[in-house]
C-alpha cells in the first residue's frame, strides 16, 4: 500500500486535528480550534494520506527562542501523530525524515519539541536539552528571610500589560520563545472545560519604579475536607524581572487565604523559590524533561551560539538520520561567538547528534552524556573543556509553555 505525504492547506487542518485527537486519546471542543489553528502556517505542516483520509501528521512553528548568545530562529516541532489504525508501518519515520530534510533545505539549523515519549525522539537525533521541576508547596510555607509583597495589583489577564515584562525576561532566559499577539492568545486561552473545576485565570502584577516588574498567572481550585479548606493555588506562569519581584510574587501566592497547597508545573531546576524556602524539601520538587533539541545543521547551529569559555575541539559526529552532519567538524568558539567547519584533523570527541542537541542550551552536560556512554573522549582533556564551554552562566534553561 502506498501513502501520499504532502504539505497542508488551511482546509486540511480540521481533519488533521481530528487525527491528533484520536492518536492522543483525547477530545477538544470546537472553541479550542481557532486558537490552535491561528498558530499554524500550513506550509510548515504535513499530512500523510491513505486515499483522502489523513493517517499521520506533523509540522513546526517558526519560533524565535533564546539560546546561549541571543535570540535565534528555531523550528518548534509539534502536532506529531499517527492514526491508531496505521501504527508500525514506518509513517512516523518517513514523516520525520521529510521534515528534517525540508528544514535543512530551508536553512533552518535548529529544531526543538516537547516529547510525548522520549524514546521516540532519541531515534531521530533529539537530545534532552532542558529540564524543569514541578512544585507542590504548603500554603504559608516560611521563607528563610523576610519578604514584603509591596505593590501588587490583581487583574484580569491582559497581554498588552504583561508582554513588556515577559519580553524583557524572555530575551535573557534560555529556552523561552518570543510571543506575538497570536501566542499570547494561546497562552491566555482559558476555557472552562480545561480548568478541571478551577477558577478562571487571574493575573497578579508587581509594580516597580519603571512600571510592571513581574506577574503571575494563576487560578484557584476550591475543595473542603471535614470542614477545613484543602484548596489549591495553581500557578500557570511566573515571570519576574529581578529577584526581589520573584520573591514578592511567590510570597503573595503562598499567603492567599483559605488555600492548602500552591502547585506549579513549570519551574526552573534552580528556581530561587527552592532557596527562599526555610524548608526546601517542602516544595516536593519533581524533575521532568522539558525541551528536546535537534541540530538539523551541525556547523550552522554550533556556529550561531556563544560559549562560556574559549574552546577548540574537533567533533566526530555520528548522525544516521541527517547524513550531511556526519563527519569531523572543528569548533573554535568562545563568549564572543564561534566558527564550525569541516576538517580532516583527528577527532577529540566522538558524539552523536543527540548529544549535541542535549548540550546545546547548556542544560545537559557532555560529561553526563559521556558517563552514560554516549560521548567518547579521544583526546585527554577535551571532554572537560568542551563540557564547560557548552555550559552557560546564569539560570538553567527551560521553556514555560508547551507548544
| Pairing status of strand 261-268 against strand 232-240 | parallel
Which triple of cell numbers denotes residue 146? 523576610
Does position 1 have pLDDT exceeding 80, yes or no?
A: no
Residue 163: per-residue pLDDT: 98
pLDDT tens digits along 81-93: 999 999 999 999 9
Distance CA 17, CA 19 (A): 5
Residue 113: per-residue pLDDT: 98
Distance CA 216, CA 202 (A): 8
Does position 176 have pLDDT exceeding 80, yes or no?
A: yes
**Coil, helix or strand for 325?**
helix
CA distances from 25 to 82, 83, 84 (A): 11, 10, 10
CATH H-level, domain 295-390: superfamily: SCP2 sterol-binding domain (3.30.1050.10)
* Short-list 114, 57, 384, 99, CA closest to 265: 114
Would you give the DSSP letter of residue 381?
T
Helix (H) or strand (E) holding 105: helix 91-105
Q: What value does the mean pLDDT take over residues 120-139?
A: 97
pLDDT tens digits along 191-245: 999 999 999 999 999 997 778 999 999 999 999 999 999 999 999 999 999 999 9
Helical ranges in 133-242 per DSSP H: 159-170, 181-188
- The C-alpha angle with vertex 316 and arms to 312 and 320, in degrees rounded to 5, equals 145
Handedness of CA 9, 14, 17, 23 (dihedral sign): negative
Kindly report the CATH number that applies to the domain delimited by 133-288.
Answer: 3.40.630.30
Q: What is the pTM of this model?
A: 0.95
Residue 211: per-residue pLDDT: 82
CATH H-level, domain 4-108: superfamily: Gcn5-related N-acetyltransferase (GNAT) (3.40.630.30)
CB 245 within 8 A of CB 210: no
Distance CA 237, CA 316 (A): 40
Which triple of cell numbers denotes residue 190? 482559558
pLDDT tens digits along 28-80: 888 899 999 999 999 999 999 999 999 999 999 999 999 999 999 999 999 99
Grid cell 518548534 is found at: 76
CB 360 within 8 A of CB 301: yes
Q: Delimit the CATH 3.30.1050.10 region(s) of the chain.
A: 295-390
Q: What value does the mean pLDDT take over residues 289-294?
A: 98
| Pairing status of strand 261-268 against strand 131-138 | antiparallel
For the CA atoms of 160, 61, 169, 158, what is the dihedral angle to 10 degrees?
20
- The C-alpha angle with vertex 190 and arms to 186 and 191, in degrees rounded to 5, equals 120
Q: Delimit the CATH 3.40.630.30 region(s) of the chain.
A: 4-108, 133-288
- Residue 388 burial (10 A CB sphere; 0-12, 13-18, 19+): middle
**Coil, helix or strand for 161?**
helix
Amino acid at each position: 500500500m502506498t501513502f501520499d505525504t504532502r504539505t497542508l492547506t488551511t482546509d486540511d487542518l480540521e481533519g488533521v486535528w481530528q487525527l491528533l485527537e484520536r492518536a492522543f486519546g483525547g477530545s477538544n471542543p470546537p472553541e479550542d480550534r481557532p486558537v490552535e489553528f491561528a498558530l499554524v502556517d500550513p506550509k510548515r505542516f504535513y499530512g500523510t494520506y491513505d486515499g483522502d483520509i489523513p493517517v499521520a501528521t506533523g509540522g513546526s512553528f517558526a519560533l524565535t527562542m533564546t539560546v546561549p548568545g541571543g535570540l535565534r530562529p528555531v523550528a518548534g516541532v509539534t502536532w506529531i501523530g499517527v492514526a491508531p489504525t496505521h501504527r508500525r508501518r514506518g509513517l512516523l519515520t518517513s514523516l520525520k525524515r521529510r521534515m528534517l530534510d525540508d528544514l535543512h533545505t530551508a536553512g533552518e539549523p535548529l529544531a526543538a519539541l516537547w516529547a510525548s515519549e522520549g524514546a521516540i525522539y532519541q531515534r531521530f537525533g533529539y537530545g534532552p536539552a532542558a529540564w524543569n521541576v514541578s512544585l507542590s508547596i504548603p500554603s504559608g510555607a516560611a521563607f528563610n528571610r523576610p519578604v514584603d509583597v509591596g505593590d501588587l495589583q490583581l487583574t484580569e489577564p491582559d497581554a498588552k500589560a504583561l508582554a513588556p515584562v515577559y519580553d524583557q525576561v524572555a530575551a535573557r532566559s534560555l529556552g523561552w520563545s518570543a510571543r506575538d499577539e497570536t501566542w499570547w492568545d494561546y497562552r491566555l486561552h482559558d476555557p472552562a472545560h480545561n480548568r478541571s473545576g478551577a477558577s478562571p485565570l487571574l493575573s497578579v502584577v508587581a509594580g516597580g519604579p519603571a512600571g510592571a516588574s513581574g506577574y503571575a498567572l494563576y487560578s484557584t481550585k476550591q475543595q473542603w475536607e471535614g470542614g477545613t479548606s484543602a484548596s489549591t493555588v495553581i500557578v500557570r506562569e511566573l515571570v519576574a524581572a529581578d529577584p526581589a519581584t520573584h520573591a514578592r510574587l511567590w510570597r503573595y501566592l503562598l499567603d492567599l487565604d483559605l488555600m492548602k497547597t500552591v502547585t506549579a508545573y513549570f519551574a526552573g531546576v534552580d528556581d530561587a523559590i527552592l532557596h527562599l524556602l526555610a524548608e526546601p524539601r517542602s516544595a516536593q520538587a519533581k524533575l521532568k524533561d522539558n525541551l528536546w533539541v535537534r541540530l538539523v545543521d551541525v556547523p550552522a547551529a554550533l556556529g550561531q551560539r556563544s560559549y562560556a569559555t574559549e574552546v577548540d575541539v574537533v567533533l566526530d559526529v555520528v548522525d544516521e538520520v541527517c547524513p550531511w552532519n556526519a563527519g569531523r567538524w572543528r569548533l573554535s568558539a568562545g563568549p564572543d561567538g564561534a566558527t564550525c567547519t569541516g576538517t580532516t584533523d583527528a577527532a577529540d570527541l566522538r558524539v552523536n547528534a543527540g548529544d549535541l542537541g542535549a548540550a546545546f542550551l547548556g542544560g545537559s552536560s557532555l560529561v553526563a552524556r559521556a558517563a552514560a556512554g554516549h560521548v567518547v573522549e579521544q583526546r585527554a582533556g577535551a571532554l572537560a573543556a568542551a563540557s564547560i564551554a557548552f555550559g552557560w552562566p546564569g539560570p538553567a534553561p527551560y521553556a514555560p509553555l508547551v507548544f
